[in-house]
Amino acid sequence: MTEQVACASGLTEPPPVTCASHRPKLVVRDLAKYFPVGGTLLDRVLGRQPLVRAVDGVDFTIRAGEVFGLVGESGSGKTTVGRLSVGLLAPSRGEVLYEGQPVTTRMERRLRRRLQIIFQDPLASLNPAMTIYEGIEHALLIHEPGLDRAGRRARVYAAMEKVGLAPPETLAGAYPGDLSGGQRQRAVIARAMVLGPDFVVADEPVSMLDMSIRARVLRLLLDLKQEMGLTYLFITHDLATARFVCDRVGVMYLGQLVEVGPVDEVFERPLHPYTKALMRAVPVPDPRLVRPKELPRGEIPDAVRPPTGCRFHPRCPEALPECGWEPRDLADLYERHALELEGALNLREVPEARTLVVPDSPVFRKLLDAERAARTPLGLAVEEVRPVGGVVEVRFRDPAPVPEVEVGNRRVRCLRVAG
């Protein structure tokens, strides 16, 4: 990261308020957001629909003037955290504090104008029925009713020039569909900046732009930060962009933060196995550096019923027996070996419990015994196998609670790292 705040000391939590530029801007505590989804009609009526746990207990602090990155894949919850941070969604649990004041969906205007957000899709973020001018002007109509038409025009043009939409007179009357992707994103940025905000959430601001103009928009965002003294929450799935733009970064997986720390450290010496996997998986645009990689198995699981214990355990190459192995993992294993074993055991619907009850079969026993003999983490997590009548009960040990440890100036949520 080329830009550094003058007295940045790279701590995860801010020191007691000494240096003014280290004031915490945004504090997020035990933040959670659940979305009800699907279920039967009865479930809906009774209010007991399944919940997607999009964000499930997130804590972090963003200091004044820094660019804090939130990286993760789809389903990680980073976009939801972004929306919660500007009061577009109400938290299910926990709180978001901006300079000590709560951020809610019904904030006062005074507060709301200082928190802005830039979205991913420039075309979809602009009202097709409003010209660029009208779109930007609307912010002023809401927050500065004292301005007259000439005053508003001056401000809108100034904002347009600041983001490089020049000459403003020509482009002001254009509709979003008439502009290029890069221009549209600039319009979105102008709209966010015209009120002179303090804290801006940028949610994948350049992912939908062509490569050759991405850097230009990023440069604009960084310049604006310097000029206007902004603080950013930068959300992205692109690790390379995060590395360049951010000071500190938080890695999210399935609704939780697994690692937080200064960006260079997290990316050069990742501690959490998921961060390591991400680093390995990112394609590098240099054919000479292509090397075989060890990739985690499978994909991000369902957020309605996340894996027990550590949510990454089913895919983790460094998992331990106490990381939360459960009956579903055994069902998965069985499915993967099905062709070899030629068995027909329906393990599809595995209920929530620490004990798996299935019809006893030599095929299943063979797999289970092999796993335990090989002393894999899954095998070692099986506490007891009890045949009862025609079924067999497989009991798993309870998962150990996953601690958040501080390692140097990083925070990592991992049993193995905790040692």
Partner 1 sequence: MNREPGMAGQPDMGRPEVILSVRNLTTRYRSRRRRVEACRDVSLDLRRGEVYSLVGESACGKSTLGLTLMDLLPEGTEVTGQVVFEGRSVLDLEPEALRALRGRDIALIFQDPMTRLDPLMTIEEHFAETLRSHGSVERAEVARLAAQALDAVGVPPTRLRDYPHQFSGGMRQRIMIALALVLEPALLIADEATTSLDVVVQAQILRLLRDLQRARALTILNITHDLGVVAEISDRVGVMYGGRLVEEGTAEEVFGSPAHPYTRGLLRSVIHMGSKELSWIDGLPPDLSDPPPGCPYTERCELAGPGCAGSLPPERRLGPTHRAFCFRVEPAWEGRA
Partner 2 sequence: MRRTWARLKDELLTVSGLRVILGGLIVLFYVAVAVLAPVLAPFDPEKLGVGPMLALPDETYRFGTTHLGYDLFSRTVYGTRIALEVVLLASFIAVLVGVPLGLVSGYTGGRLDRTLVLLMDSVYSFPDLILAIVVAAILGSGLVNAAVAVSVVYIPQYFRVTRNHTLAVREEPFVEAARALGATRPDIIRRYIFPNVSQSIPVILTLNSADAILTLAGLSFLGFGITPPKPFWGLDVSEAWRYLTLTQEYPQVWWWTAVPGLAIVILILGFTLLGEGLNDILNPQLRESQR
Alpha-carbon gap, residue 84 to 100, rounded angstroms? 16
Q: Would you count residue 18 as binding partner 1 (CB under 8 A)? A: no
- Name the binder of 21 from partner 1, partner 2, none, CB < 5-8 A by kind: none
Nearer to partner 1, 109 or 288 (CB): 288
Q: What tokens does 147 get?
A: 């301005």
Determine the Cα–Cα distance for residues 43 and 50; give it in Å rounded to an integer.
Answer: 8
In the window 53-92, what residues touch partner 1 (CB under 8 A)?
A: 73-74
Specify the stretch interacting with partner 1 by CB under 8 A; choose among 24-32, 112-120, 295-303, 353-361: 295-303
Measured from the CB atom, the residue of 139 and 333 that comes closer to partner 2 is 139
- Tally the C-alpha atoms within 13 A of residue 20's C-alpha that lie toward its C-beta: 1
Report the alpha-carbon distance of residue 61 to residue 233 in Å, rounded: 10
Q: How far apart are CA 65 and CA 1, in angstroms?
A: 14
CA 321 vs. chain centroid, Å, equals 27
Per partner kind, with CB cut-offs from 5 to 8 A, the member of partner 2, partner 1, none near residue 88 is partner 2
Q: Which does 267 bind (CB under 5 to 8 A by kind): partner 1, partner 2, none?
A: partner 1
Q: Minimum CB separation from partner 2 for residue 199, in Å? A: 12
Subset of 267-286 contacting partner 1 (CB under 8 A): 267, 277-278, 280-286
Longest dimension (CA), the chain: 86
Tokens of 100: 């000590």
Q: Which of residues 323-342 bind partner 1 (CB under 8 A)?
A: 335-336, 338-339
Binding status of residue 237 toward partner 1 by CB under 8 A:
yes
Q: For residues 11 and 130, which CB has a smaller minimum distance to partner 2 in the complex?
A: 130
Helix or strand holding residue 370 (H, E): helix 362-373
The site for partner 2 (CB under 8 A) is made up of 83, 86-88, 109, 112-113, 116-117, 119-121, 124-130, 138-139, 142-143, 177, 188, 191
d(CA 396, CA 348): 18
- Residue 349 in the binding site for partner 1 (CB under 8 A): no
Secondary structure of 225-279 in the HEC alphabet?
A: HHHHCCEEEEEECCHHHHHHHCCEEEEEECCEEEEEEEHHHHHHCCCCHHHHHHH
**Residue 356, H or E segment:** strand 355-359
Task: State which of positions 117-176 bind partner 1 (CB under 8 A).
Answer: none
Smallest gap from residue 229 Cβ to partner 2 (A): 20
Contacts of 140 (CB under 8 A, 6+ apart): 147, 152, 155, 156, 194, 195
Q: Which is nearer to partner 2, 78 or 112 (CB)?
A: 112
Of 24 and 181, CB closest to partner 1: 181
Residue with smaller CB distance to partner 2, 4 or 127: 127
Distances from the Cα of 22 to the Cα of 7, 27, 221, angstroms? 8, 13, 21
Cβ–Cβ under 8 Å, residues 188 and 203: no
- Of 337 and 395, which has the nearer Cβ to partner 1? 337
299 binds partner 1 (CB under 8 A): yes
- Closer of 296 and 399 to partner 1 (Cβ): 296
Distance in Å, CB of 73 to partner 1, minimum: 4
Q: Determine which residue in the list 181, 372, 395, 404 makes contact with partner 1, applying CB under 8 A.
A: 181
Contact 203, 181 (CB under 8 A): no
Interacting residues with partner 1 (CB under 8 A): 2, 73-74, 180-182, 210-216, 218-219, 237-241, 243-244, 267, 277-278, 280-290, 293, 295-296, 299-300, 335-336, 338-339
